[in-house]
Amino acid sequence: MLFIIRSSEPATLVRFIKRSLARLYAIALSAPFAIAIALAVTPNLSRAQATTAQADSARRDSLARARASRPAQLSTITVTTTPADRREPSSATHVTPIAIELAPAATPWELLRQTAGMEVHQAGQGPGFASDASIRGFSSDHSTDLALWIDGVPVNEPVNGHAEGYNDWSLIFPSTVRDIDVIKGPTSALFGNFALSGVVNVRTLERTNNTQLGVTGGSYGRAEASLLSGFDHGSDGGGVFALRAQHNDGFRPNSANDLTQAHARIVRDITPTATLDAGVELYGARWNSPGYLSEREFADHQYNVVSNTTDGGYKRRAQERVSLRVTHGDNLMWRSTAYATQGRWQLYLTIPPQGGQFEGSGSQTEEDDARYGFGLTSALSYAAPHMNVTVGTEGRFDHARYQNYFTTARTRDSLDALFTGRQLSGALFFQAGLDAGQYLRVNVGARYDAIGTQSVNDGAGGVASSATQGVFSPKLGALLHLTSSLGFYANASRGFRSSDGILTDPTLVPITVWAYESGFKLDLSTLTASAALFRMNVSNEQTFNPLTSGSINGGSSRRQGVELAVHTTAVTHTALSADWTFDDARYTHQIIAPEDSPDTPINLSGFRVYNTARYVGSAALDITPTAIIPTARWVVRLSGNWVGPYSPFDEPGVVLGAYGLMHVSARARLSSAAVLDIGVRNVFDRAYPELVAGHIVAPGEPRSAYVGLRYDM
């Protein structure tokens, strides 16, 4: 479904949105009926078949297998959950279930930092206050330069007054995750807005025969309980249902938080050639916020300082999805996903008045965002022995109401901003791969996105403005097989994301990037490795303060560097993996106008991009002695993540020192049904800054430990 708005007149846009919303609403109304069908059936695939299917979906295809003459097996239900493939001329990190289970991480942000080598700067103000995740040196205000998809549903929030594309990873339910792909760069035509630097693509479990109860306790008042159950009746149906509750007192005063989640997914073959898949994700959190420290307070380890004891907030989000896959023979597949989302968050936060372009006022502010949306993705895929082609369309509507007030102890003093935003977007996309002979694979793709946004300033008597932006994003890549196990690849692609501030000014043009990458991939029986050079040239660069939400548009920048990744099981009872990025991110042209007109403008050209590190990396050693001690029933993981010299926001030329964190975790099977997990994060109790902006600091968590027990019933 493609929506293209051809007029920027407000009345025309309103009429078009109303008609399209009515159409999408009709689609959404059909979702409960489809879910009812899936629930009514009596979902028989044997356990061995299910295990084989899961292993096949998780394994890495070697370059040798890529040359085999066989039809591609397009088994995923939704087109955007298709796993990353090492046969393709692009770079991606695959996070396995065992890595997810063994990582001593209490948040999804920490999980991806430890397992995928991503640059992460946690805000530390509560689970619904989105942190900053970065790929290839993008400062990523609240992770808005990254697209997050869960089972074919986009999570980034358009027309968000706090940060356009606000990206809350707390929706990820770890025990329900089958695997995760982190796609580097805008190389896939399947993803559009916010996939500027890459994509985090999460796939959940389709089915399980077990019922699993888990409890975890740890440092700083961490307590968690989860229940996961399901069924597997083969083609007659399968499903997974899960609940989770978590409490954490936090390592700073006034930082207690609670989080609850629910997950449901049902899959059933409704005919021999058609599969229905329905899912629901529910998430709620509430928290107190300790605020930020001055640089002096951080240096003196005064973590007990609290900005305002009434700071805090809450977040709720729900998403519902129905997907249909229809096959025709061995080569043709049509996949469609309709979804709906609802959410609301309220945030009270006090930013201390420090020196800098976006220093805080010292006053508490309240932000409130209430939203809902609908969407549809549909694609037709054709697979032959030496080629595959996907052609699809995507449509999405989002409605948001944003409020911002100056407050005292959560009592409103005055209005700062009150806006209603509506955004209607549509896209056509095309992606194809072709084996051009025995040694060469060529990929080509493109997408065109049209985004129409209407803004109503309710605080100024309902003044409305609207505009439509269009972005064309071509993709091209090639992989040359030098040997059966070694390949050289190169690609060029364009990506984009909507600019911050589009809620108040829809005429802002999108941020775009041209990305270039070349490298090698090695696939042996006990070793997979890759090395890549990349360069990314950004137009309409924004500098953004992730603490105070101020931004400046209109500049340009470039990122260039090297990425290295390796995974080896050469020693039979061990597995070693590492993922590193070395990056030089600099503004090529960026002028910041002074807040006071007599002052001299700040020229950032040539300086490092704010809120980025010169290198980031992770490494892990898994020891599984069952290979040499058959009676052993345990596994140990030694891991670490490192952050290189870091450029804080709003401090031109300042570079903070590098740091590394070490972690250890272990799993022991106590019986056929009981498993014990233990872990320690930041073993050496390293003091480090998670985030520095305008001379205020969010400190990192000191050493913490946890113990968990999982029981399979």
Instruction: Give the pLDDT band of residue 69 (cuts 50, 70, 90).
Output: very low
Q: What is the pLDDT of residues 99-128, one digit of tens each?
A: 888 888 888 988 888 888 888 888 888 898
Distance in angstroms (rounded) separating the CA atoms of residues 250 and 124: 9
Please tell me the predicted confidence (pLDDT) of residue 2.
34
Give yes or no for a contact between 344 and 332, defined as CB atoms under 8 angstroms apart: no
Nearest residue to 163 via CA among 544, 695, 647 = 544
Please tell me the predicted confidence (pLDDT) of residue 97.
85
Pairing status of strand 132-134 against strand 591-592: unpaired
Is the pLDDT at 242 greater than 90, yes or no? yes
Q: Give me the mean pLDDT over the 70-83 stretch.
A: 55
Is the pLDDT at 314 greater than 50, yes or no? yes
192 CB-contact burial (10 Å; exposed 0-12 / middle 13-18 / buried 19+): buried
Instruction: Give the pLDDT band of residue 632 (cuts 50, 70, 90).
Output: low
Is the pLDDT at 236 greater than 50, yes or no? yes
- State both tokens at 299: 């240096």
Can you tell me which residue has the tokens 């991009």?
A: 609
Please tell me the predicted confidence (pLDDT) of residue 68.
34
Q: Going by C-beta distance under 8 Å and a sequence separation of 6 or more, which residues neighbour residue 16?
A: 3, 5, 7, 424, 452
Give yes or no for a contact between 324 and 267, defined as CB atoms under 8 angstroms apart: no
Is the pLDDT at 474 greater than 80, yes or no? yes
Q: What is the tally of structural domains in the chain? A: 1
Looking at per-residue pLDDT, the higher value among 660 and 34 belongs to 660
Q: How far is CA 668 from the centre of its chain?
A: 31
Is the pLDDT at 200 greater than 90, yes or no? yes
**What pTM value is reported for the model?**
0.85
Distance in angstroms (rounded) separating the CA atoms of residues 586 and 590: 10
Is the pLDDT at 443 greater than 80, yes or no? yes
User: Is 361 inside a domain boundary?
Assistant: no
Please tell me the predicted confidence (pLDDT) of residue 553.
65
Please tell me the predicted confidence (pLDDT) of residue 571.
87
Q: What is the pLDDT of residues 395-441, one digit of tens each?
A: 999 999 999 999 999 999 999 999 999 999 999 999 999 999 999 99
DSSP-derived letter for residue 272 is T
User: Is 48 inside a domain boundary?
Assistant: yes
User: Is 487 inside a domain boundary?
Assistant: yes
- State both tokens at 198: 């890459």
Please tell me the predicted confidence (pLDDT) of residue 37.
31
Please tell me the predicted confidence (pLDDT) of residue 629.
52
User: Is 5 inside a domain boundary?
Assistant: no
State which residues form the domain around 488.
10-356+367-712
AA letter at 438 = Q
Phi-psi label, residue 573: left if phi above 0, alpha if psi -120 to 50, beta otherwise = alpha
Averaged pLDDT of the chain: 85
Nearest residue to 229 via CA among 165, 175, 267, 303 = 175
User: Is 35 inside a domain boundary?
Assistant: yes
The CATH number given to whatever domain includes residue 680 is 2.40.170.20
Instruction: Give the pLDDT band of residue 13 (cuts 50, 70, 90).
Output: very low
Is the pLDDT at 566 greater than 70, yes or no? yes
DSSP-derived letter for residue 82 is P
Q: What is the pLDDT of residues 265-313, one digit of tens each?
A: 999 999 999 999 999 999 999 999 999 998 999 999 999 999 899 999 9
Q: Give me the mean pLDDT over the 589-614 stretch.
A: 79
Please tell me the predicted confidence (pLDDT) of residue 357.
37
Lowest mean pLDDT among 67-71, 663-667, 704-708: 67-71
User: Is 537 inside a domain boundary?
Assistant: yes
Please tell me the predicted confidence (pLDDT) of residue 81.
66
User: Is 239 inside a domain boundary?
Assistant: yes
User: Is 14 inside a domain boundary?
Assistant: yes
Q: Which helix (H) or strand (E) holds 55?
A: helix 47-58
